[in-house]
Amino acid sequence: MASSDSAPQADSATRRRTRAAIVDRAIVVLAARPDASLSVVAEAAEVSRST
């Protein structure tokens, strides 16, 4: 049986990957378009705007 501690660790890892994707794409998008909206950055990072 899996430990109940593995779910929070998995969520945390997913959050870290999502955050890294957003930051990485924001750097690229904002370098090209300093006036880009958060929606544009979210789309480039392939996450929803509400993330």
Confidence (pLDDT) at 49: 82
HEC sequence for the chain: CCCCCHHHHHHHHHHHHHHHHHHHHHHHHHHHCCCCCHHHHHHHHCCCCCC
Round to whole Å and give the CA distance between 34 and 15: 25
- Type of residue numbered 37: S
Confidence (pLDDT) at 47: 93
> Residue 37's closest CA among 26, 24, 51?
26
Confidence (pLDDT) at 41: 96
Q: For 1-51, how does the pLDDT look when each residue is reduced to its tens digit (9 = 90+)?
A: 455 556 677 789 999 999 999 999 999 999 999 999 999 999 999 998 886
pTM of the full structure? 0.72
- Which backbone phi and psi does 28 adopt, to 5 degrees? -65, -50
Confidence (pLDDT) at 9: 76
